[in-house]
Structure 1
Amino acid sequence: MDTRSSPWRQPVVWLMLLMVGLVVVAGIAMVVVATADGPMDAVPDAVQRTGQAQQADLDPDAHAARLQLAAIMRMDGEHGFVEVLPVSGDFDHAAPLRLHLQHPARADADLVLTLAPHETGWRANATPSQDHDWLLRLEPASAPTWRLQGRLPRHQQATRLGPALHDGAP
């Protein structure tokens, strides 16, 4: 007597079909998530590509390290301003500064503020969103010969800005 059953009655066949289906659905979901908010610009600096290596200009970071520049950036959402306070180094207090607030994943959400000299540092009227992190870059508004960088975590109102290089050499 032959007691062979149909392959469709075997749990292994259904498990295999279920796994293939889940992989297809997960792949489609990943494509939708990856393309939903537009392109991601994790590094906004201009880079030079040589072969497979990417090279960025680090001279502004090295210059800021040699000048020993450091600052504090703070946001006051209640009064609607962003302020930069010098901590160390020889800043030109009469010249305006440019503050780049870069969304960590979406370039269309980036902000650029021009900070005017103020009695304690530099200030601009703005209320950036605090619902996500910001990558920060501070530089002179006229000629960006130096730059300070930092990161402002979500719901935090102040952070330190410093050169990306610490010893002054790239």
Structure 2
Amino acid sequence: MNQTRSTWREPMVWMLVGLPLASVAIGFALLFAAVRPGREDMDTITQATRVGKLLVSAQDEPSTEVATKGLVLRLKGDMIEAVPVDGDFPRGGKLRLTLRASDSQAAERSVELSPSELGWRGVGSLDGGHDWMVELSPDNAAWSLRGHWTAQARAIRLSP
């Protein structure tokens, strides 16, 4: 009695068909896991977002004006002024200017800039013999602009 078995009852058919199908399914599952952000990635994304040189904190929802505008920092006598490049720059509140000497021989300085008729102004001066790393942010730290103030420069532009 020669009875033939069904093709699907042969183990070799399952190895030839089933293993490649299983590897394709596992490949799609791995691709989905790699593309989809995980929980720890979402926490990092919500902490801070960088737009060019502008670091935007997640504490306050930044306005689109801050992400596209810039400021000019300039020395005027014994004052440091921050003047918006565009008149639509969001105004109000004080700004904190932090200056760090790039050669680390001079101490870190912090200047509080109060609102003025043109922008913000604070009492302070710079030693012209040092390059300075500059960070400017509002009191609520919703955004931060960073730049490099070279020695002997009278003004710099901070933009995203």
Q: Is the alpha carbon distance of 1:62 and 1:99 closer, same or farther for their aligned partners in structure 2, counting shifts above 3 Å? A: closer
2:73–2:157 contact (8 Å) kept in structure 1: yes
- My pick for the range that moved more, 83-92 or 110-119, is 83-92
C-alpha distance after superposition, 1:96-117 (max 9, x if no partner) = 1011111113286111111000
TM-score by length of 1: 0.54
C-alpha distance after superposition, 1:27-62 (max 9, x if no partner) = xxxxxxxxxxxxxxxxxxxxxxxxxxxxxx752625
1:70–1:89 contact (8 Å) kept in structure 2: no
Identity of aligned residues (%): 29
TM-score by length of 2: 0.57
Q: Is the alpha carbon distance of 1:104 and 1:92 closer, same or farther for their aligned partners in structure 2, counting shifts above 3 Å? A: same
Q: Is the alpha carbon distance of 1:94 and 1:65 closer, same or farther for their aligned partners in structure 2, counting shifts above 3 Å? A: closer
Q: Is the alpha carbon distance of 1:132 and 1:108 closer, same or farther for their aligned partners in structure 2, counting shifts above 3 Å? A: closer
Look up the match of 1:68: 68
Task: Find 1:59's aligned residue among 46, 49, 56.
Answer: 49
Distance 1:107 1:70 in 2: 29
Look up the match of 1:150: 147
Shift, 1:151, TM fit? 1.1
Look up the match of 1:115: 113
Shift, 1:65, TM fit? 9.6
Structure 2: tracts of 5 or more residues without a match: 1-46, 57-61
- My pick for the range that moved more, 122-131 or 64-73, is 64-73
Structure 1: tracts of 5 or more residues without a match: 1-56, 164-170
Shift, 1:125, TM fit? 1.1
Look up the match of 2:157: 160
Distance 2:135 2:81 in 1: 13
Superposed CA RMSD in Å reads 2.4
* Structure 1 residue matching 2:68: 3-state secondary structure: coil
Distance 2:123 2:136 in 1: 16
Distance 1:107 1:58 in 2: 31
The structure with more radius of gyration: 2
* Structure 2 residue matching 1:147: 3-state secondary structure: strand
